[in-house]
Amino acid sequence: MKKIIFAWIFIILAGTIFVLIKNSFWKNKPSVPENNISISAPSENNPPNTENEGSIHDQLPASSVAEYQASPATQTSSGFQPPIDRAAERVTKKPFGIYITPKTSPIQPERFQGYHTGTDFEIFPDELNANVTVRAICSGKIAVKRTASGYGGVLVQACQLDNQPITVIYGHLKLASISKNTGDTLNAGDPIGILGKAYSSETDGERKHLHLGIHKGSATSILGYVQSRSQLSGWIDACILVCK
């Protein structure tokens, strides 16, 4: 009888230890291997498009946007100006860092996929057919002024933030409304031009809105979306500086 009791105790203990070890193993195992994240985002050489870039993005978690919105407040906003009138009152359908897929995007239909590198400023209803002026948020030279896939008209300005170089991307502008040229200086608050007409070549078919991105460093990039969180760390949440 004693032998049977000891045998049962042994079996129960062994079973418990097995379950504990198994659980701790699975807890430590990452659900998505880092190296499975493909890099394919819109850029000058790789413009944004509607092509299916692979199903791997569907396996990524639906993004913890909050951690990017709560960026470290080391950037000072001194000298920065809002890019558009009543900036703080405007709806932001796509905030900085939100992970977009054609299925989950707040904008439908959607052709992009990835982490949004900028902040979108929507228009007010009465601005649909009005001229909406976009202003420089900082002082610096125009580095890029051209039409680009995914944007229509886009302007990139080289500025500084806490003595570090940054480039500012203003997307979906009416290119013909921009009188200044590459190399010219824009001061904070200076009018740049106006927003492109909704669903036209001026916005590359997008709704009328401003996409404002800030890229760290002096190298220009007009990526509207990136495909990994590590890439997103190369961008700054513009709203911290100008949504006030």
Minimum distance between the CB of residue 211 and Zn ion, rounded to whole angstroms?
3
d(CA 130, CA 197): 9
Q: For residue 79, give the nearest of 15, 123, 136 by alpha carbon.
A: 136
CA distance 178 to 134: 10
208 lies in the site for Zn ion, by CB under 5 A: no
- Nearer of residues 82 and 118 to Zn ion, judged by Cβ: 118
Under 8 Å between Cβ of 168 and 182 = no
Least Å from the CB of residue 183 to Zn ion = 26
Nearer to Zn ion, 114 or 140 (CB): 114
**Cβ atoms within 10 Å, residue 168:** 28
Query: Which residue, 120 or 202, has its beta carbon nearer to Zn ion?
Result: 120
Q: Which two structure tokens, joined as six digits, stand for 19?
A: 């379950």
Residue nearest to Zn ion (CB): 211
Of positions 48, 57, 80, 120, contacts Zn ion by CB under 5 A: 120
CA 13 – CA 94 distance, rounded (Å): 53
Does position 237 interact with Zn ion (CB under 5 A)? The reply is no
For residue 123, give Cα distances in angstroms to 19, 89, 171, 207: 56, 10, 14, 9
Stretch that binds Zn ion, among 7-15, 80-88, 176-184, 205-213 (CB under 5 A): 205-213
The size of the interface with Zn ion (CB under 5 A), counted in residues, is 3
Applying CB under 5 A, the span of 85-93, 149-157, 180-188, 209-217 interacting with Zn ion comes to: 209-217
The CA-to-CA distance between both ends of the chain, in Å, stands at 78
Of the residues 202, 211, 214, 239, which one makes contact with Zn ion according to CB under 5 A: 211
Tell me which residues touch Zn ion (CB under 5 A): 118, 120, 211
